[in-house]
Structure 1
Amino acid sequence: MEELSIVHGPQEPALWSKTLGQLIEEQARRHGDRTALVSPWQEKRLSFRELAESSKALACAMVRAGLRLGDCLAVLAGNRYEYIQVFLAGARIGCPVLPLNNAYTPAEVYRAVQRSSTRFLFISSQIGPRSLSAHLENLLSPLSQCNLAELKGLVCFDRAGPFTEPHVHSYGSFMASGDTADDTEDFLQAAERIVRLSDNLSYQFTSGTSGEPKLSMLTHRGLINNARLVGDAIRLTRDDIVCCPPPLFHTFGLVLGFLNAFSHGSAIVFPSDHFHAESVIDAVFQEKATALLGVPTMFVAELEACAAKKLDITTTLLSRLEERFGVKGMLIAYGMTETSPVTFMTSLDDARDKAMTSLGRVLPHTSAKVIRPDGTIARRGESGELCTSGYGLQKGYFENEAKTKEAMRRDADGRLWMHTGDQCYIDNEDYCHISGRIKDVIIRGGENMFPLEIEERLLLHPAIAEASVVGVADPKYGEVVGCFLKLTRGHHKPQDQDLRDWVRVELSWHKAPQHVFWIREEGVCADFPKTASGKHQKHIMKEIANTFLSKKDLGKGRFIIPINDRDICGPMLCRVDRLCS
């Protein structure tokens, strides 16, 4: 009988049964004045005890402001120590924290706050050189206030005030407000006692093939245990110092960065509020980092920064990683937001061919299977849709039962499985391999974008009669946005930059098409390639785009292409889907 493509992770070590609030106090007792967090750009260092005390003070302020179990807290900011304080304070009283993408436009922030029923929004005045004043003004407009009835407060990290609006606070004054009543700590203790492992710890917007992102609900049990098990796999200890450039609005930065380090008593360093390669290199050397997190584009930029600084990376950073981990500092992990996030990971003990060509084996307390279109389990080596199960599964999508049932289904034995939409196969040694993408998502430097949202914006332009958006190979970002367009009869073809500006009015800057292809132009195609039912064949358009660009000498060289939005790296490089020369 042929072996089927279903695998089960080890049952050891046992899962933790503690909330993040309980873990905060435990780590404060265990590690005390040892450094937990460093933010060099803010000149701030916090010990485990100071993190516990500051998160407790902020949680008191939240209780005093009327926040209760289940109320959503949103954060729009770069990587800063206050971000972590908000996350920990929310965890103490059972308020899930929703990290908002730093690239969101004012309109996208408004929709996110509205869809998530956010009660309090914590916001910076800027992220790097980018001002967020327009975001704040949009939220404070009379129309917004009428439509955001559940939003009760705005807290500004880096503006001291005074504010004319009664529900807008500076971060310092808001935190201090928790000390205004003797009974606040009693209320805090009562709030902390009712938080359960199954309660939501974080909300995360996740992409899909529809125009509207879904809001994934992730629990204390799932996030804490996943962070801890991934840290075990990379052998983190209390002596490690993790440098974390990836943004905190992503599970990479928040879970595989902060929670991973925090659960192991390691220190974490946030070099800057937004990615800045020179700041990363400075932080690595100044803090003597033993682990560096990133996606391929970050590592490339950091290597270039080392060269510009004339630093001998061969004898410093890379040798330290090699000495610490026994390899060249690279591991591979695979997961998705909805699974908290990692399900497969390579090991430091893997043979080189497995370490470089697979996603690794399934993590403890997790199961995975590959299924055929009819739902039956595939044979070993046979490609199909990957489904995963275990402690890390999300509770579901916030106020979206239909999408939850579509993605999470029970088998005949009653076991709940997450259908990833990724095409994979499992070999005879239990290693998982990506063989394609089922879901049509564009990944630009680790950022997920769904084509329909961009297509809908393009179709509002009077000169565009039909549009199709695809991911186009790029040597720096892996993929960038490309669009195939058909001109409306009687209109003149707009300039490429005009189209980009049109998209950026409503969507984030990186969603604007870098490459524009007009149907019937020389070298493109006479019409959209379509199936018999009329659906656009995007895989053909991607081939056309890449061929067209290679002829213009834009696509030469070796491309590092992330597999999909599931690629997550610790002190590792995102796994390589293909190398094109």
Structure 2
Amino acid sequence: MESTSSHKQSCTENGTGCGAGWRWLARRVNADAQALIAAVQNGTCIIRNVERESPSSAASAGVFLTSWLLWILPTVFPAKTDEVALVYAAAAAIMTTEPTYINSEPSPATQKLSVLEGPVDPPLVDLTLGELLELQTYQHGNQECLVIPWTGARWTYNELSQQSSSLSQALLDMGIGVGDRVAIMAGNCEQYAAVFFAVAKIGAILVILNNTYTPTEAMYGLKFSDTKVFFTTPQIGRLDQTQLLQQLENKKTSPKVVMLRGDESGKYQTYDELVNIGRRQSHQRLYQAMSKVLPHQVVNLQFTSGTTGLPKAAMLTHHNLVNNSRFIGDRMRLTPTDILCCPPPLFHCFGLVLGLLAIVTHGGKVVYPAEIFDIQATLRSISDERCTAVHGVPAMFDSLFQAQWPEDFNCNDLRTGIIAGAPVPRYLMELLVNRFGMTEFTSSYGLTEASPTCFNAFTDDSIDKRLTTVGTLMPHAKAKIVDRDGNIVPVGARGELCIGGYQLQAGYWNNSEKTSETMIRDASGVLWLHTGDEAVFDESGYCSITGRFKDIIIRGGENIYPLEIEERLMAHPTISRAIVVGLKNKHYGEVVGAFVELAENHQKPSFEELKDWCRKRLGGHKAPAHVFWLGEDDVPATVPLTGSGKVRKFEMAKLGDELLKKQATSSKL
């Protein structure tokens, strides 16, 4: 074995970045580098070759080295020897290195076109989800990671790692391997997190099904993905799964069903049984399986909650999820002392990536209050667990503020959290600060196909920026805004938001047509995801989402944006909800139609009063030409929603057109 000094010298001679990276690693572990040499003798030649082609920073070289080490460790060292422990310490040091925050207020853009590139610091890391969990377990093993008040579970990082590893070994025994699909449909529980990491560790793909799916929709997802094993529960909240389970029993090609919890029938194998089987297996097979998993392999099939047609399954990779969750936590300034209350569901990227993974990458603790969203359980969790952060969509926060709080409720520790998923009214953001004390709340924008977060505010951005924008572009991402012809619009002009960079999905599962429609490569070779969302950039690079690109109402050749009309209508004291759509009109092509809900204990205003209310702030052409009251005159009281709570506006527009036709027919009679 060559000496430490000669090894460092040879590395330096063949690439200054590599040499600096080696010395940086040795300093970070605060130990003699001798113990690392045995593991990296074969790896340094790889690094040297990379360095010859493209010299990188010291930190990037260190990250590359660590990624390579974590890949070979299970094979080289089946047990955690001192050498392995030292390497894990080095890797943990890299993962917990705080990013460089130059200034959360970006410098004014020099370009006049709406094109942005995110920061290049901190560097991307090449880790699988299994490696990430092992890394954080080494660093924070005895610290609580996952708290589920409704089941009583309080798992440390050690427990989560052990549970997922045992389940991984049981899945290997069942013949599940790289690329095989394993599905899950369940509420928020500790077993959900274990399944997520277990499937990832062996290179299989987790098919995540929405809890609100009907049996028909769930069967479609299972068949479409060719799932081999299906984890579920007999009931999810109030949703009885009996019909779905009966359909699965009647099909010969159905996947094997495993009950996560609550099965008293004895028909199915259970999660606990699989974990017990896995515990009796040798770890050697799992280590070998983990060594074959690469960061750029697909790990999740995440069904999108689109507002048209059948849901599409976005293929997300380890690389996508590990890095996006790191950057999310960085924007929130998360540390191992933070405790996040996360009521959004784990079947959604909000609960899984912004919740579980953002916490795991920063060594903190996440609390899932209930199986499905429960107002009182969420309030109790915030208070009892002394949470420092809370996530939610606007409707969740609105419900929390309208509820009766427990007498002993305490939210003094709350400082941050993310509100996203739908347009956020100003009054709601003000309540976050004034009632919850979330002075460091952040606004955010993302979509499933981008893993998911693209823009996020910093905790120290001005209140006005956090109220009116979704923040600035995330590290290593690209963004542009284009018109209907694909031309980049000037800064300050609205258009369709397009995203590029490391976080883009690998495509839609078994749907090349939709993939090519949504993901388009430009003349310079850059791949862009067309989001379908309408946005605008300001001179400093802050982004505001102004609506759905397809929802724009074109009245007589003039673009009208539904969101601003909805916000104006909801500012009226008698209106609790407003949905604005374009309705067919022979003269103008389209006119503004509004579906509104009357607030409790209020008298309904006249049509003219609402039109005048809109005209005071908006142009006359933006005032509704037609107003429909939810729950009255053949208008349903409920609104059609996607699984994640988005309004199916095309259905509302169709309903409006049908109501107008009916009115026209009645008037002729």
TM range (shorter): 0.7 to 0.9
Q: Distance in 2 between matches of 1:26 and 1:37?
A: 16
Shift of 1:302: 1.9
For 1:261, what is the secondary structure of its paired residue? helix
Residue 338 (structure 1) aligned to one of 431, 449, 466:
449
Q: Distance in 2 between matches of 1:117 and 1:235?
A: 40
Q: 1:257 to 1:200 in 2, by over 3 A?
A: same
Shift of 1:565: 7.8
Given that 1:161 and 1:169 are in contact with CA atoms closer than 8 Å, whether structure 2 keeps it comes out as no
Q: Distance in 1 between matches of 2:294 and 2:416?
A: 43
Shift of 1:176: 2.1
For 1:58, what is the secondary structure of its paired residue? helix
Q: Distance in 2 between matches of 1:208 and 1:99?
A: 15
Give the structure-1-normalised TM-score.
0.74
Q: 1:551 to 1:283 in 2, by over 3 A?
A: closer
1:122-271 equivalence runs, <5 A: 122-141=231-250, 144-146=251-253, 148=254, 151=255, 153-160=256-263, 163-164=266-267, 168-179=268-279, 182=282, 185-271=283-369
Residue 529 (structure 1) aligned to one of 580, 584, 587:
584
Q: Distance in 2 between matches of 1:221 and 1:98?
A: 17
Shift of 1:537: 5.2
Q: Distance in 1 between matches of 2:215 and 2:577?
A: 27
Please give the per-residue CA displacement for 1:501-527, whole angstroms capped at 9, x wherever unaligned. Answer: xxxxxxxxxxxxxxxxxxxxxxxxxxx
Q: Percent sequence identity over matched residues?
A: 37
Given that 2:187 and 2:372 are in contact with CA atoms closer than 8 Å, whether structure 1 keeps it comes out as yes
Q: Does 1:420 align with 2:531?
A: yes
Please give the per-residue CA displacement for 1:410-448, whole angstroms capped at 9, x wherever unaligned. Answer: 11111111001111111111111223312459xxxxxxx
Q: Distance in 1 between matches of 2:590 and 2:300?
A: 36
**1:529 is matched by which residue type in structure 2?**
K
Q: 1:52 to 1:479 in 2, by over 3 A?
A: farther
Q: 1:483 to 1:115 in 2, by over 3 A?
A: farther
Any stretches of 5+ residues in structure 1 without a counterpart?
Answer: 442-469, 485-527, 556-560, 568-581
Aligned to 1:286: 384
Q: 1:255 to 1:546 in 2, by over 3 A?
A: farther
Please give the per-residue CA displacement for 1:303-348, whole angstroms capped at 9, x wherever unaligned. Answer: 233x34245668675799979x995242100011000001111122
Q: Does 1:549 align with 2:629?
A: yes
Q: Distance in 1 between matches of 2:530 and 2:364?
A: 34
Q: Distance in 2 between matches of 1:235 and 1:336?
A: 22
Shift of 1:173: 1.4
Please give the per-residue CA displacement for 1:116-174, whole angstroms capped at 9, x wherever unaligned. Answer: 11111100111223322222112112xx334x4xx2x110012456645xxx3111112
Q: Does 1:390 align with 2:501?
A: yes
Given that 1:208 and 1:439 are in contact with CA atoms closer than 8 Å, whether structure 2 keeps it comes out as no
Shift of 1:94: 1.1
1:492-507 equivalence runs, <5 A: none
Given that 2:324 and 2:451 are in contact with CA atoms closer than 8 Å, whether structure 1 keeps it comes out as yes
Shift of 1:91: 0.8
Q: 1:249 to 1:545 in 2, by over 3 A?
A: farther
Please give the per-residue CA displacement for 1:252-286, whole angstroms capped at 9, x wherever unaligned. Answer: 00110000111100001111111111111111111
Residue 87 (structure 1) aligned to one of 196, 202, 206:
196
Give the structure-2-normalised TM-score.
0.65
Given that 1:2 and 1:379 are in contact with CA atoms closer than 8 Å, whether structure 2 keeps it comes out as no
Q: Distance in 2 between matches of 1:76 and 1:208?
A: 19
For 2:123, what is the secondary structure of its paired residue? coil
Q: 1:546 to 1:48 in 2, by over 3 A?
A: farther
Q: Distance in 1 between matches of 2:408 and 2:265?
A: 46
**2:235 is matched by which residue type in structure 1?**
Q
Q: Does 1:46 align with 2:148?
A: no
Given that 1:209 and 1:440 are in contact with CA atoms closer than 8 Å, whether structure 2 keeps it comes out as no
Given that 2:578 and 2:594 are in contact with CA atoms closer than 8 Å, whether structure 1 keeps it comes out as no
Please give the per-residue CA displacement for 1:441-469, whole angstroms capped at 9, x wherever unaligned. Answer: 9xxxxxxxxxxxxxxxxxxxxxxxxxxxx
For 2:200, what is the secondary structure of its paired residue? helix
Q: 1:477 to 1:64 in 2, by over 3 A?
A: farther
For 1:12, what is the secondary structure of its paired residue? coil
Q: Distance in 2 between matches of 1:19 and 1:276?
A: 33
Residue 58 (structure 1) aligned to one of 167, 175, 178:
167
**2:276 is matched by which residue type in structure 1?**
A
Shift of 1:544: 6.1
Q: Distance in 2 between matches of 1:19 and 1:39?
A: 25
For 1:60, what is the secondary structure of its paired residue? helix
Q: Distance in 2 between matches of 1:26 and 1:33?
A: 13
Aligned to 1:454: none
For 1:235, what is the secondary structure of its paired residue? coil
RMSD (Å) for aligned C-alpha atoms: 3.5
Shift of 1:107: 1.2
For 2:545, what is the secondary structure of its paired residue? strand
Given that 1:157 and 1:171 are in contact with CA atoms closer than 8 Å, whether structure 2 keeps it comes out as yes
Which is higher, the Rg of structure 1 or of structure 2?
A: 2
Aligned to 2:406: 309
Shift of 1:301: 2.1
1:535-574 equivalence runs, <5 A: 540=593, 547-549=627-629
For 1:7, what is the secondary structure of its paired residue? strand
**2:520 is matched by which residue type in structure 1?**
R
Given that 2:415 and 2:437 are in contact with CA atoms closer than 8 Å, whether structure 1 keeps it comes out as no
Residue 207 (structure 2) aligned to one of 66, 83, 98:
98
Any stretches of 5+ residues in structure 2 without a counterpart?
Answer: 1-109, 418-431, 553-565, 596-622, 636-640, 648-669
For 1:21, what is the secondary structure of its paired residue? helix
Aligned residues: 471
Given that 1:409 and 1:417 are in contact with CA atoms closer than 8 Å, whether structure 2 keeps it comes out as yes
Given that 2:593 and 2:626 are in contact with CA atoms closer than 8 Å, whether structure 1 keeps it comes out as no
Given that 1:383 and 1:423 are in contact with CA atoms closer than 8 Å, whether structure 2 keeps it comes out as yes
Q: Distance in 2 between matches of 1:370 and 1:415?
A: 14
Residue 129 (structure 2) aligned to one of 15, 20, 42:
20
Shift of 1:73: 1.3
**2:406 is matched by which residue type in structure 1?**
K
Q: 1:546 to 1:122 in 2, by over 3 A?
A: farther
Q: Distance in 2 between matches of 1:368 and 1:339?
A: 12
Aligned to 2:228: 119
**1:422 is matched by which residue type in structure 2?**
D
Given that 1:326 and 1:348 are in contact with CA atoms closer than 8 Å, whether structure 2 keeps it comes out as no
Q: Does 1:365 align with 2:476?
A: yes
